[in-house]
């Protein structure tokens, strides 16, 4: 896209160079030189803008040979790019070449060792449950509750009205 945009602008500059006296006259006399340049020389908005942004001494210094040379170079580059972009094989070759160049430039020996580990094993639900000390308390009416730790005063706990302590067992949360 950049090559095509530059070629487009160069075409406008070439038109201005070949008609430099008329372009200078338009710039000097016209109130809106951009629209006059566009209509008289069939230029696009970008081309007219490039001509108006260019200092006149640069336009006069630009030689037809230089403009033609840059146009030829860019045309060759455009053709090469279009040929590459139009062929999957050429794109693959280009990518392969660029990757190899990057590997040569940045590649070096491995900096960290490759360590072989044992095979991973699936975890069971039991392995995922934490193992904490708990005390299970049973009331006279059959209600059970669990409290963390083994230092629980099971008889001093609050029970529902008419209910009281019956027994307690110490264990682990995964039992």
> Which residues, including other chains, have CB under 8 Å from residue 63's CB and lie 6 or more apart?
none
3-state secondary structure (DSSP) of residue 84 = helix
> Which residues, including other chains, have CB under 8 Å from residue 152's CB and lie 6 or more apart?
135, 137, 168
Q: For residue 64, what pLDDT band results from cuts at 50, 70 and 90? A: low
The whole-chain average pLDDT of the chain stands at 85
Query: Which of residues 52, 87, 103 is at a domain's end?
Result: 103
Residue 124 lies in a domain: no
Confidence (pLDDT) at 62? 59
Confidence (pLDDT) at 60? 60
Taking only the tens place, the pLDDT of each residue in 107-163 is 888 778 888 888 888 887 777 778 889 999 998 888 888 888 888 888 888 888 888
Confidence (pLDDT) at 125? 76
Taking only the tens place, the pLDDT of each residue in 46-63 is 999 888 887 766 666 656
- In this structure, the answer to whether residues 97 and 136 fall within a common structural domain is no
Share of the chain above pLDDT 70, in %: 95
Token duo for residue 153? 């005063």
Query: Which of residues 67, 85, 103 is at a domain's end?
Result: 103
Confidence (pLDDT) at 63? 66
- In this structure, the answer to whether residues 68 and 138 fall within a common structural domain is no
3-state secondary structure (DSSP) of residue 138 = strand
Domain extent at residue 142: 129-172
- In this structure, the answer to whether residues 82 and 136 fall within a common structural domain is no
User: Is the model more confident about 98 or about 67?
Assistant: 98
- In this structure, the answer to whether residues 99 and 133 fall within a common structural domain is no
> Which residues, including other chains, have CB under 8 Å from residue 126's CB and lie 6 or more apart?
174
For 69: left if phi > 0, alpha if psi spans -120 to 50, otherwise beta; the answer is alpha
**CA atoms of 56 and 76, how far apart (whole Å):** 29
Query: Which of residues 85, 103, 121 is at a domain's end?
Result: 103
Residue 123 lies in a domain: no
pLDDT at residue 24 above 90? Answer: no
**CA atoms of 36 and 40, how far apart (whole Å):** 6
Give the mean model confidence (pLDDT) for residues 158-172.
Answer: 87
Taking only the tens place, the pLDDT of each residue in 75-110 is 999 999 888 888 899 999 999 999 999 988 888 887
Confidence (pLDDT) at 88? 92
Number of domains in the chain: 2
Strands 133-139 and 144-148: antiparallel
- In this structure, the answer to whether residues 143 and 99 fall within a common structural domain is no
């Amino acid at each position: 896209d950049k090559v095509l945009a530059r070629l487009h602008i160069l075409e406008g500059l070439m038109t201005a160079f070949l008609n430099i006296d008329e372009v200078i006259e338009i710039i000097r006399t016209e109130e809106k030189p951009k629209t006059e340049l566009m209509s008289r020389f069939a230029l696009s908005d970008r081309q007219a803008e490039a001509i108006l942004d260019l200092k006149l001494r640069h336009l006069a210094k630009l030689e037809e040979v230089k403009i033609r040379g840059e146009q030829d170079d860019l045309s060759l580059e455009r053709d090469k790019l279009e040929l590459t972009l139009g062929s999957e094989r050429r794109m693959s070759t280009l990518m392969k070449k660029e990757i190899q160049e990057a590997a040569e430039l940045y590649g070096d020996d491995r900096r960290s060792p490759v360590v072989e580990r044992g095979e991973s094993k699936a975890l069971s639900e039991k392995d995922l449950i934490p193992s904490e000390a708990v005390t299970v308390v049973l009331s006279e009416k059959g209600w059970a509750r669990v409290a963390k730790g083994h230092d629980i005063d099971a008889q001093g706990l609050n029970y529902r009205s008419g209910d009281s302590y019956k027994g307690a067992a110490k264990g682990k949360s995964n039992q």
